Structure 1
């Protein structure tokens, strides 16, 4: 198979960067990869919070660790104060969980996830009373928000499969951050608004049956190089399963590029965002769903 060089031109999809700015007290801010902050005037919850973003050579050949300066700059920009109640990892690969214990330590939030995520927290010196291990189907309440965790699967192929059985103390090899438990996370707010965070393009058939969400934050990293039948099944078992009318694409950006530079798509050798958007646009048109791209740091409704 011939390797395709380059990457999709994200400027082709500028028209999809059209999420309206939040005007009420509730807003959602995109942090890159699968990172999101759901916040109102009093409380906030976060998924992943991956701000360090080490380079590809470091990930492949060296060891990775949270970058205090990058984490601090991101939290300062978010200006959450003491509102952050929980940081939930969608699974335990480094590009989702690496910074989560540090974010929890700095903000007073609780780290939430499976036992693998808990072991990353323990390796990051997070006290046990600031770690919450959840089970599939469990709903936890954090101020004005609820988070329901439903067991899911990682997008194939999972390059670091398995579970984390002992604390991971950084700096560590990227391979130490095994996937662990993957989650579909349903976020509810006291206003009645609901969202599904599908942080990776994997799914468990039927797992989301009976759940509902207004918006799906749909992870699409790696989706564009999978068979079209898989993409259509993914849509059916996530977006269609929860009856969403709006989809916001996440995990499409180059995770090795710092947040100090404009976001760009993952390269063709690992993904093809053009294919993903083409197929999802067809499905969305069929089902009466709108598809959007989020803007980094922008608080949207």
Structure 2
């Protein structure tokens, strides 16, 4: 006959197994994609930019997260340029650094062969990490905050190849005119006990940063939007899901690249005000959501939505599609390396 100790031991074992199964089930759900792209197939153009750019047109190529290549056939402008995309495991538990082989393969596949400038929206690793190496390999100038420039110095860029942001001052590069606008990062979040909130006592990368380093060593250092004019047409690139009240009151954009990460996880009041301060105010003809993809997976495979662990792609997009359909604004999604001629 089993003793009391034996029964208690078995009960504890069964409890452990139950908790383990619950944990594994919860983890498997959390690490699943937060959306099904097949449901939105009609929003993808399925173009790869094989034909030459028509004269006077501007072509955009999406390279994941907030990496957007703009090309008018004479000059190329790039935002961010984050191509290495280390795995979730490596990012969370190890040190990360740029992979020159991966970067070069993306440069070649995307035909980045007349790049003049790279504009970095903020200095978290998923925006800035590869930018200095793209600059090195293309001879393009790196534009950014003091934090971004310290990442550039750590990677060996010279001061002559880097330009500190001067918000509000137009920069002419070929037929593009770029104006850097001060912005705000997506509201802070906490995952697995860690937060991406900026430490007010250490808000910037204040010395040269050379990899390999921890992902958390890449400090935001301020967030920026980019207003880009080409001829009579205007593009607004906004990578983060946040707003500065009234910042766009005097601005119109024909095309809006809009970061939607974690939008539906915010309070309803925030979602409504975000829509009002961006899409409703800018009145774009075309809206292209960005920063929706799982950047722990490589660009060499089709992009997937962010993980359920920290996002809700379906919720984000459904909110956007409902509101834009009411106002008859065209929405277009882009896969990795897909292109679209903007105007």
What's the TM-score bracket when you normalise by the shorter of the two chains? over 0.9
Identify the range of structure 1 (116-125 vs 224-233) with the bigger mean alpha-carbon deviation. 224-233
Instruction: Identify, as 1 or 2, the structure richer in helix.
Output: 2
Q: Which residue is 1:185 aligned to?
A: 226
Over residues 117-144 of structure 1, what are the superposed CA-to-partner deviations in whole Å (9 max), with x where a residue is unaligned?
A: 1111111111001111112212211111
Give the one of 260, 272, 281 matched to 2:300.
260
Q: Which residue is 1:129 aligned to?
A: 160
Query: Residue 225 of structure 2 contacts residue 236 of structure 2 at CA under 8 Å; is this kept in 1?
Result: yes
Map of 1:204-219 to 2, 5 A cutoff?
204-219=244-259
Mapped to 2, the partners of 1:195 and 1:44 lie a distance apart of: 14
Mapped to 2, the partners of 1:288 and 1:91 lie a distance apart of: 32
Q: Please say which structure displays the higher CA radius of gyration.
A: 2
Map of 1:193-204 to 2, 5 A cutoff?
193-204=233-244
Q: Which residue is 1:67 aligned to?
A: 99
The answer to whether 1:241 aligns with 2:281 is: yes
Shift in Å at residue 97 of structure 1? 0.3
The answer to whether 1:232 aligns with 2:262 is: no
Q: Which residue is 2:217 aligned to?
A: 176
Map of 1:27-42 to 2, 5 A cutoff?
27-42=59-74
Mapped to 1, the partners of 2:275 and 2:329 lie a distance apart of: 11
Q: Which residue is 2:20 aligned to?
A: none
Q: Which residue is 1:275 aligned to?
A: 315
Over residues 185-244 of structure 1, what are the superposed CA-to-partner deviations in whole Å (9 max), with x where a residue is unaligned?
A: 11111x322111001112111112212210100111222322232222112112222221
Q: Could you say what secondary structure the match of 2:172 adopts?
A: strand
The answer to whether 1:115 aligns with 2:134 is: no
Shift in Å at residue 20 of structure 1? 6.8
Length-normalised TM-score, structure 2: 0.83
Mapped to 2, the partners of 1:94 and 1:275 lie a distance apart of: 25
Identify the range of structure 1 (97-106 vs 129-138) with the bigger mean alpha-carbon deviation. 129-138
**Structure 2, unaligned stretches of length 5 or more?**
1-25, 190-195
Give the one of 63, 71, 77 matched to 1:45.
77
Q: Which residue is 1:144 aligned to?
A: 175
Mapped to 2, the partners of 1:299 and 1:281 lie a distance apart of: 21
The answer to whether 1:86 aligns with 2:96 is: no
Mapped to 2, the partners of 1:116 and 1:209 lie a distance apart of: 29
Query: Residue 160 of structure 1 contacts residue 178 of structure 1 at CA under 8 Å; is this kept in 2?
Result: no
Mapped to 2, the partners of 1:211 and 1:286 lie a distance apart of: 22
The answer to whether 1:297 aligns with 2:328 is: no
Mapped to 2, the partners of 1:273 and 1:173 lie a distance apart of: 27
